[in-house]
Amino acid sequence: MKRLCYMMLMAMVLAICNACGSGDPVRAIYHWKTTYNPTQYELQWLRDHRVQRLYLRLFDVDVYDCEERAAPIATTRFLQPLPDSIEVVPVVYITNEAMDRMQVYDVAERIAERVKKMAECNGIDLHEVQVDCDWTERTKNDYYWFCRHLQEELHKDGIRLSSTVRLHQVDTTLASLPVDGRVLMVYNTGNLRSPQTENSILDYADVKPYLRRIDADMLDGMDYAWPVFGWGVAFDEQGAFQCIVRPAALAADTSTRLREEWGRPEEVRRVQRKLPAHGSHTTILYHLDSLNLSKYTYDEIEEIYSR
């Protein structure tokens, strides 16, 4: 009898845990390099944090010649097979200059075909494609039309289209952006070139003005992307911006005034608490790189993923 009661109690506990876990965010991370060749540390990190989805940049679209035509550049090379236990979502980055010059229908069709071919060649089971563009008011209409054409091309094969969204792009018209999913990129929120900026990667003081004008319904169904990376921002003696210094070179750079920046976990959690909580969504970290990820503890990553 005692054994039966124990088994019934355990079944109830498991049912409650499963019910609570059903709304947990999908765990995802960006891969933003021109070569797919993850280290053992990075592969183990994916396993340790039970990552379910990899958003993998395939290529950029930029203006590249004297005729200022928009074309693919910086195509990712694959030196390892992709993990079969993780969903892979190809991402295409489009510069604002390319968006300003492209014929949206023609380029949308060519991008769709190129992504499909690269996915087939590299064993990607294609369910979704994401586009990333820092469009402005001047190129907003072009971007919306581009997404409409690209979505039509992808839907022919049952493929979803998602788009990144920056804080300055969130307004009442965002709901009409013709995509199947939106990802709010909550990083690179400050003025990197200003010597007065404390942390351009993420600082609540930079996010707060946006949150005042963003209604909760504007973010309905939105996925969120968070920073787990860092760099140095170098200035000369007069305070003029010089360059970005990558993590590997931070210790060696002594020739300039250097502001070291990181996506601080406490700042991420502070902003997370201010954003509206909704149903099941995806939490994406930027990005899969051992030099950056090794700066964060297991618990810090888990806390970001848990909301």
Same domain flag for 254 and 173:
no
Write the CATH number for 58: 3.20.20.80
End-to-end CA distance of the chain: 41
Q: Which among 21, 42, 41, 19 is positioned nearest to 30, based on CA atoms?
A: 42
pLDDT at 13: 36
- pLDDT of residue 1 exceeding 80, the answer is no
What average pLDDT does this structure show over 203-213?
Answer: 95
Domain total in the chain:
2
Query: What confidence tens digit (pLDDT) does each residue in 247-270 have?
Result: 878 877 666 899 999 999 999 999
Is residue 89 domain-resident? yes
Cα 283-75-156 angle, rounded to 5 deg: 65
Same domain flag for 150 and 48:
yes
**Cα(26)–Cα(157) distance, rounded to whole angstroms?**
24
Same domain flag for 33 and 139:
yes
Same domain flag for 101 and 234:
no
Is residue 83 domain-resident? yes
Same domain flag for 267 and 256:
no
Same domain flag for 285 and 246:
no
Q: What is the pTM of this model?
A: 0.91
pLDDT at 253: 62
Query: What confidence tens digit (pLDDT) does each residue in 121-147 have?
Result: 999 999 999 999 999 999 999 999 999
**Cα(262)–Cα(289) distance, rounded to whole angstroms?**
14
Domain containing 235 equals 230-262
Same domain flag for 107 and 131:
yes
pLDDT at 36: 98
